Amino acid sequence: MQPSPHDPLTEYEEYIGFYLEIGMAITAWAHIELALYWVTSTCFSKSNRPAAGLGFFSIDNFRSKLQFADNLVRAKYTSGKHIKDWNELHGQLESLAKIRNKLAHYHVMSYSNGKPGRRRALLSRIDKPTRFKQATPKPPSSALCIRDIMHARMRFAAAAFALEFLFYRMMRRKTQLPASLAQVRDAPTMVWLTHQMRTILTRPH
């Protein structure tokens, strides 16, 4: 029997959705790194861009990649709208990188008796113990649950498209992609999240 659209997220749906959203978030982050390279490539001549790409992607640490890009962009675009847009994006990327690190390094903890949407969580390896013993264990406020991960993925995707659109403007190119792709949406509600998970899980193959 299929659950009603108004029924809470089941434990099975949450289990599948939790790991699906982690994978989609990491994929969205890969788009950020690619779009960051595109922006960086505008600081090189066409003939030097392949070598610049080799240099950029040989940098393992994202913060170092971002610093590399920042130095080049500021050297080439000293004033005007491009540098203003870059400054805003640079701040966003610094903030989002912290979330990406949590997705990559936090460990998974299960809370089978928890509320829908908080049965599985990503937790810091070292977290402060709770002051009071809990009758039903639940994730701490610092944990990343499915709703947090989905919102992170949405923020990553918006930042990636914002970088991509900046690249097009720097290259004086037009794009058919809608500007709305770069707009950050609010965190999803559990009703919306549940609907999305059920749509994916019941879609015919």
Produce one character per residue of 143-176: b if its CB has 16 or more CB atoms within 10 Å, e if not: bbbbbbbbbbbbbbbbbbbbbbbbbeebeeeeee
Query: pLDDT of 133-171, one tens digit each?
Result: 666 788 988 999 999 999 999 999 999 999 999 999 999
Distance of alpha carbon 101 from alpha carbon 129, whole angstroms: 22
Report which of residues 126 and 99 the model is more confident about. 99
- The vertex-194 CA angle with 193 and 195, nearest 5°, equals 90
Half-sphere exposure of 192 (CA within 13 A, CB side): 8
Query: pLDDT of 26-52, one tens digit each?
Result: 999 999 999 999 999 999 999 999 999
Distance of alpha carbon 20 from alpha carbon 38, whole angstroms: 27
Above 70 in pLDDT, residue 123?
A: yes
Query: If we measure between CA atoms, which residue out of 141, 148, 149 comes closest to residue 124?
Result: 141
Task: State the chain's mean pLDDT as an integer.
Answer: 91
Above 60 in pLDDT, residue 61?
A: yes
For the chain, the structural domain boundaries read: 11-126+139-202
Residue 178 has what DSSP assignment?
A: -
Residues 6+ apart with CB under 8 A from 33: 62, 65
Residues 6+ apart with CB under 8 A from 200: 17, 20
Which of 10-14, 129-133, 134-138, 185-189 has the highest average model confidence (pLDDT)?
Answer: 10-14
Backbone angles phi, psi at 46, to 5 degrees: -55, -40
CB 188 within 8 A of CB 8: no
Above 70 in pLDDT, residue 112?
A: yes
